[in-house]
Each structure stands twice: as C-alpha cells, then as structure tokens.
Amino acid sequence: MMFNNMIFLWFLISSLIMSLSSSSLFFLWMCLEINIMSFIPLMHSKNSMNMNSIMMYFLIQSTASSIFIFSVSIHFMNLEMMKFLEILITISMLIKLGVAPFHIWFPQISEGLTFESLGILLTIQKIIPLYIMSMFKSKLILIFIIVSSIIGSVGGFNQFSIRKILAFSSIAHLAWILSLLMINSNFWSIYLTIYSIIIMMILILMKINSMNLYNFSKKINNEMNLLFIILLLSLGGMPPTIGFIMKWISLKIVSNNLMFLMIPLIISSLINLFFYLRLGYNSFLKNIIFNKWSQNSIYKIMTMLMIQFSLIFIVLSYI
C-alpha cells in the first residue's frame, strides 16, 4: 500500500511540475485530470465517511473539469467569445478551489479525510487552479474575494472540528491569495508557500498526537503545545508571527491597487484570529503548568521562536 501511494504521489507532483511549465490550456486540462486521478487513491481509507468524501470530491472536480474543457474547446473555435470563456474558466477553477459560494463541499470533504490527504487538499491541490486563474484575472473574482473572506471567517466561528476550522480558514486565506493574484503580484505564490508550510506543520502535530477536537493539550507536553499555538496564531495573523507579516505585506500591496478590499479582508482576519485564540486557549493556556518548564524546554522554545523570526526576515527581504 505504501508503494502504491508513493507512485500516485509521484504522478501528483509530476502533473504539478508539468502544468507550471506550460501555458497551453489543453495541456493544463490534461495535467488537472492526472492530478485529480492521482489524488483520489491517496484519499482512500477504511471508514465510510472517507468513501463519501471521495465520491463527492470526484463529482465536484469532474463537473469543474467539464466546464473547463468545454470552455477551452469553444476557445479554439471562436475567439469572439473570449470574455465569456474567461468567466467560465474562472468559475470552473473557483469550484475546484472551493471558493465561496462554491464551498459547500469543501468542509464536508475535509472532515472525512486523513491528515495526509487533508494536507494535500489544503495546499498542493490549490496550485494548478491558481496558476490557471493567474493567466486570466477576470474582474468577476472581486465578488468571490469578498464573499470568501466573509464565509471563511463566519463559517468557522461555531465549528468544533479542527478539520472544518482549517477548511474554512483555507477559504478565508484564498480570499487573500486571490486579491494578490488579481493585481498581478507574484507575492501570492510566496503567501501560498508559507501558508502551506504552516498547515503542514499543524497537521503533522495532529497526526502524531491523534488530535481531532479540543483534546490536544491532554496528550502532549508543554513544548508541543506551545508550537501548536504559535502555528495557530500565525495562521490567524497574530503579531509578530510570520502570518501577520504575510498579511501585512499583502495589505500593503492591495492598498495600492484595490483599497476597497482591505475592509472585508481585515474583518475576516480578525474573526479568524478570534477562533484561533479560542482554540489556542483550550489547547494550551488553559492547561499549561508553567512551573514544570525545564531548561531544555526553554531551549526548545527559543529554537521555535528563532525559526519563526527567520521566516519573517525571509519574507521581509521580498519587499
């Protein structure tokens, strides 16, 4: 089984690399299909919820792919419909990404996936659709940016499943990424990379400690708890974490081009930060015993902080 997964993962990464090296719409469609068919076997596990997630994912992605290849086919036949085709292609990619209001399937599927599959869905599977969207930049995206920033924050507010919280957080972060993409800023790729690193680290901690809900601090030591809350706060954009620097630079870029987008993005970020603080309080601050920190623990904390600040300086060097 492990060998089979490695083969499918190789196809997944290969389709990603091939797509980024091409600008042909038909070739990009082929890469998308290889990508989807490679990811579906990686989603497989033995519980019934997982099988429902696989079927739903297949149907949603197939529908979006059908819209995309239909648009590409018409494009080759009639260039006069280019504006309309751009809208269709954009919508098909928004469906694939799970951007609001096409997001209904996204939290449901996330709940039924393993941590490994969830990590791929939240990170790697976004790259090809975003790359395709960067080729068109339809103004229609502006509406979806505002809707996603609202849905992504409000939707996760009353969630108690960490998987669904991360899913709604992904929708909110997509609003930031699409904002950068709309104004021709290459910073969207850096934003996505840092977001992916944070998500992967959170999911690795969850995998190691079999975390599902608010039971994290009962299973692990203080150092792991601290790392977990730093990652959560970074995802929410709490100063002075890398997540805050990332959003600060994004706001600086957006303010020079699309000033009106700043308000929904900031409000969304504040709401997201609230439920990350709530989750962090339950997982760390509520149960930590400060007088049990050893000298070795302090060294580990300093190492975590050094890694955090080194990432900040890397991002700042982009400016």
Digit-coded pLDDT (tens) for 126-139:
999 999 998 887 78
Cα–Cα distances in angstroms (integers) from residue 44 to residues 8, 143, 205, 319, in the given order = 12, 35, 21, 42
Q: Which residue has the tokens 């000298």?
A: 295
Give the three-class secondary structure for 82: helix
Q: Which residue has the tokens 């490994």?
A: 116
Q: At what angle do helices 242-255 and 222-236 cross, to 10 degrees?
A: 0
Task: Report the phi/psi class of residue 239: left, alpha or beta, with left for phi > 0 and alpha for psi in -120 to 50.
Answer: beta
Task: Report the phi/psi class of residue 137: left, alpha or beta, with left for phi > 0 and alpha for psi in -120 to 50.
Answer: left
Alpha-carbon distance of 81 to 70, in angstroms, equals 13
DSSP tag of 292: G
Digit-coded pLDDT (tens) for 44-71:
766 656 778 888 899 999 999 999 998 8
Pair 95, 145: CB distance under 8 Å: no
Number of domains in the chain: 1
This model's pTM is above 0.75 = yes
Walk along the chain (319 residues) and give the pLDDT tens digit of each residue: 566 778 888 889 998 999 888 888 889 999 999 999 999 888 876 665 677 888 889 999 999 999 999 888 887 776 667 778 888 889 999 999 999 888 889 988 888 888 888 999 999 999 999 999 988 877 888 899 999 999 988 888 777 778 888 899 999 999 999 999 988 778 898 999 999 999 998 888 888 776 554 454 455 566 677 777 788 888 888 887 888 888 888 888 888 878 888 888 888 888 888 878 877 666 555 555 444 544 455 455 555 555 555 555 555 555 5
Q: Which of 129, 168, 119, 124 is nearest to 268 (CA)?
A: 168
Q: How many CA atoms lie within 13 A of 98 on its CB side?
A: 27
Q: In residues, how long is the chain? A: 319
Pair 45, 53: CB distance under 8 Å: no
Residue range of the domain that includes 35: 1-317
